[in-house]
Structure 1
Amino acid sequence: MREARLRWFGHVMRRGIDAPVQRCERLARDGFKRGRGKPKKYWREVIRHDMEQLQLTGDMTLDRKLWRRRRRSQRWGLLSQENYSSVIETMTEELKKSVTFLPLVDLRFRDTATTGHTWFISSLNDTLEENEAEHLYFPSKASDGRLLCFKGRDNRDGTKNSYALAWRGSLPDSAILLEGLTFVSDTYYNHDNLWHGICAMTPLVGWSMKNECLKPARWVLFHWGELRLRMGSWLQQLMQANFGEVKVEGFDRGDVPYCFEKAVVMRHDLGQMTQENKLKVSDLLRCKARSYCGLNPSGKGTEINERGFPITRLTLLMRSGSRSFKNGTAVTDIFAKECVRVEGCILQVVQSEDLSFCDQVKLLTNTDIVASPHGAQLTNMLFMDRGSSVMEFFPKGWLDNAGPGQYAHHWMADQSGMKHQGAWWDPIGVECPSPQDHLHCFLFHKDGMVGHNETYFAEWAGRVIDQVRLSKVERASVDQEKQQHDSKACAC
């Protein structure tokens, strides 16, 4: 009521002197008497009392903004005196009730699952920073200061898991607040495969590098919004080498909401991350992995044999089963002959599945040329020095039917600073029964074995070995600069 009176009085005072409301006001001041049943106090007296309580002067009534501020402050002042706590409790409860959980995966965007806002947390647009992968960060201005919350732990249907945003002071009932920084990764592929896993993790490492090398307290992993409780052993050890202990959150403390004090969400894998930043991440991970495995590669680039020739290390990284060589012995003989031809060349032949993580780091740290059939084991090229060489082999049918995915290790070479020296696709083998159906033919050839071409392999291997040997001679003069670069790579 008081607010209404003051609002009316302010309106009156801002009218012209001949306005009807002003004439009525003058009559009131002149002292006309109240009628029967009217209030005992004149309107003017009531207003004067109100203004005294607010410490207002007549001049202040002419300033609309000041007038409104004083009325509002008086209204909240009265609330604070009378039932402020009750109002806050009521508002908090209302905010809790307003928290809305949405499906973690939005099937309306199935056809654009990896583009734009994606189908994962689809109601929110990415934060775009120059040269960096698209991401979401909570709490932030974009989230209006709200925290990210998840509910559900289904590992088969991402639509059964859900997300919501909530202010820290009004989290949903029974919600568990997970303190510290959380890394959230949703990938269209998986966190087990070496190549797909490192593509999912590279932007998180890059974000950490840009933000004072912050380390996560936990990781939350999704594939199509389906919860994953682990990442592959190779990937976990690589992340452990960089961040320390890797704790994958399983939401196993009950079917309640879990909210994150701070969270970074990556849902595009490499996204728009620039080549320069990919190289920086690769340099860091290479350096951290070598340190984790107790390796000190200093001086490696200037190794010479007893006759003074630079040492060139060639590794045949073999597979068993699918995409292995049909005749591994013949392939080994070809490479051995070419290696013997070049003074200082040393050949190693190793089965990739027999190696521990640190075995792989050590092997590739001491490799200048890696030759291997297409497969996840080639991701270990990350541990070679920048500028090292990669040779790749494919079964029949891949060139025509495998699509762009067959070039994954060309991309890996680019982002880790290696030279992909080309690939060989086996032209010989059983023909696909449905040549017009590329998917059917790819599945038909996917796990095939790789043959060999002695003439081509010998010429190819010889050319690459000669190139690497020459580059080693040239690099010897800048080795000191390289070592300084390597020391900076581990700065995080």
Structure 2
Amino acid sequence: MTKPHPQIDRTTTTTAAIGKKHQSRTISPFSCYSPQLSLLILATCVTLFILCQIQILHVPPISSPSPSPLRSFISHQWQTVTNCTQDNLNSMAERLRHSVTFLPLKDLRYTDKAVQGHTWFMSSMYDSHEEGEVQYQQFPSKSSDDRLLCLKGRDTHDGSWNYYALAWPETLPVNATLMKGLTFVSYNHYNYDNIWHGLSAVVPFVAWHRKNGCESPTRWILYHWGELRLRMGSWLTTLMEATFNGEPVIEGFDGGDEDGVYCFEKAVVMRHNEGGMSREKRMEAYDLMRCKARMHCNMSPERRDANNIGMTLFMRTGPRSFKNESIVTGIFRKECGKVDGCKLMVAYSNNLTFCEQVKLMSMTDILVSPHGAQLTNMFLMDRNSSVMEFFPKGWLKLAGVGQYVYHWIASWSGMRHQGAWRDPDGEKCSFPKYDRRCMSIYKSGRIGYNETYFAEWARNVLNEVKAMKELEKASQSASSYECACG
């Protein structure tokens, strides 16, 4: 007898299978566990606990007269950590103050290369230099890691005994004096008494001043071969007074310890004179000084009337003077007299005040003068004025590049250097023709004359200036200008 098959409940089977499948896809609440999550939860709890305890420490007790043991323990540990951190900071600051390294201003390793970039002054430092602009160092700055410049020593005889260092404002050297305001630090391989050498050292400061919103110095520090200098020549002092609207204060570090350290809130250092400046930037600096000098001397900065031509014989006495001034004066007076509106003026550089020289140059279109420092005044003339220069015998072959400085300043200040006459005659030298020892004889020689050459030369320059004046008058290009700055 065949047994009947058991009745299969397909509905139940299917439902159970689906339920089992669904159960297999359900995510357990512990399936996301990981060591990283545990650490995160633990760190969060610890942080919240510490914050709560810190908050408790800052809230005075309400009812309990004495803190709980846990609170006392946490307070003690927190105070210990705070005191330890502050002690470490103070210790580090003190070590930084004592570890400031001072280096000699004059690096004797570069003695034979001193003129080549003045590398022996603050030799470890590099300059900031944009194309056409001045080369300078500024403190504090990014290049100095925001450190200040500090100077130690005030020796006026040996620059290797004067030192410099950099220090952060919070960790100045022990017993250092902080000097507020802007300090100009000038290095000059020559000197500050000769008006040409002095001017070439200060021109870059004028350019920096002009570019930086006319910011003026609180003080100047002057160095020559790393040796401290305590004064500028009177001509240069007055020019700087006019340019920066106040008499320059020359720092001598008086009244302090001989080995005292002086740090500067802000310092700008120049050690390349006008090196690296473009002609355009130089002319801007000379324009500013010319304008400021005229205003200082109560003169209008505007250009003169284009109807007149001023010809000035700027004479010297002694070395490089004319042997026969009356004949030379007569030659130029005769040629000037042939040109309508020409006026000849004769002056001596050694008996004029600064403002008298400014006034004379403002009336001069043609400057006639022997080679010498007095020619530096040419930048005080209007732009496009002319310069005629004279040399004694021997300078062309023996004087080196220094004989061309007034060609340079003429170009830099926007003037026209109309050439130079070199006397072929003079005292004889017992050494061979081009022996440099002859320069000691020729250097201070006096200058003769060539009447034919001088007359023709003066005539050509006068005609050129006259034509230029007439062109200016026709085009009304002789307009006024202001002392541009910033």
TM class by smaller structure: 0.7 to 0.9
Structure 2 CA distance for aligned equivalents of residues 470 and 430 of structure 1: 40
What does the per-residue CA deviation read over 1:190-241, in whole Å, with 9 as the maximum and x for residues that have no partner? 1111111111111111011111111000001001111000111111111110
Q: 1:246 maps to what in 2?
A: 248
CA contact (8 A) 1:115 1:268 kept: no
Structure 2 CA distance for aligned equivalents of residues 448 and 104 of structure 1: 38
Q: 2:193 maps to what in 1?
A: 192
Structure 1 CA distance for aligned equivalents of residues 407 and 118 of structure 2: 28
Q: 2:271 maps to what in 1?
A: 267
1:277 maps to 2:281: yes
Structure 1 CA distance for aligned equivalents of residues 340 and 275 of structure 2: 44
> What are the equivalent positions in structure 2 for 1:397-408 lying under 5 Å apart?
397-408=394-405
Q: CA deviation at 1:251?
A: 1.2
> What are the equivalent positions in structure 2 for 1:414-433 lying under 5 Å apart?
414-433=411-430
CA contact (8 A) 2:182 2:266 kept: yes
AA partner of residue 222 (structure 1): Y
CA contact (8 A) 2:210 2:485 kept: no
Q: TM-score, normalised by structure 2?
A: 0.82
1:334 maps to 2:345: no
Q: CA deviation at 1:122?
A: 0.5
Which of 435, 441, 454 is the matching residue for 1:457?
454
CA contact (8 A) 1:117 1:126 kept: no
Q: 2:479 maps to what in 1?
A: 483
- Count of aligned pairs: 422
> What are the equivalent positions in structure 2 for 1:115-264 lying under 5 Å apart?
115-116=116-117, 118-243=119-244, 244-252=246-254, 253-255=256-258, 256-264=260-268
CA contact (8 A) 2:118 2:189 kept: no
Structure 2 CA distance for aligned equivalents of residues 445 and 399 of structure 1: 11
CA contact (8 A) 1:290 1:296 kept: yes
**Could you list the runs of 5+ residues in structure 2 that have no partner in the other structure?**
1-33, 50-77
Q: 1:321 maps to what in 2?
A: 318
1:448 maps to 2:478: no
Q: 1:38 maps to what in 2?
A: none
Structure 2 CA distance for aligned equivalents of residues 421 and 455 of structure 1: 17
Task: Name the larger-Rg structure.
Answer: 2
Structure 1 CA distance for aligned equivalents of residues 79 and 117 of structure 2: 49
Q: 1:361 maps to what in 2?
A: 358
CA contact (8 A) 1:102 1:163 kept: yes
Structure 2 CA distance for aligned equivalents of residues 85 and 329 of structure 1: 83
What does the per-residue CA deviation read over 1:439-485, in whole Å, with 9 as the maximum and x for residues that have no partner? 31222211111111111111111111111111111111344x4424x
Identity of paired residues, percent?
52
AA partner of residue 265 (structure 2): E
CA 79–212 in structure 1, closer or farther in 2 if over 3 Å, else same: farther
CA 363–427 in structure 1, closer or farther in 2 if over 3 Å, else same: same
Structure 1 CA distance for aligned equivalents of residues 435 and 43 of structure 2: 84
Structure 1 CA distance for aligned equivalents of residues 434 and 195 of structure 2: 29
**Could you list the runs of 5+ residues in structure 1 that have no partner in the other structure?**
1-16, 23-28, 30-43, 57-76, 303-309
CA contact (8 A) 1:177 1:259 kept: yes
Q: TM-score, normalised by structure 1?
A: 0.82
Structure 2 CA distance for aligned equivalents of residues 455 and 143 of structure 1: 61
State the secondary structure of the residue aligned to 1:120: coil
> What are the equivalent positions in structure 2 for 1:340-419 lying under 5 Å apart?
340-419=337-416
Structure 2 CA distance for aligned equivalents of residues 110 and 482 of structure 1: 49
Q: Over aligned residue pairs, what C-alpha RMSD do you find?
A: 2.4
Structure 2 CA distance for aligned equivalents of residues 83 and 354 of structure 1: 72
4+ long deviations beyond 4 Å? 47-52, 77-80
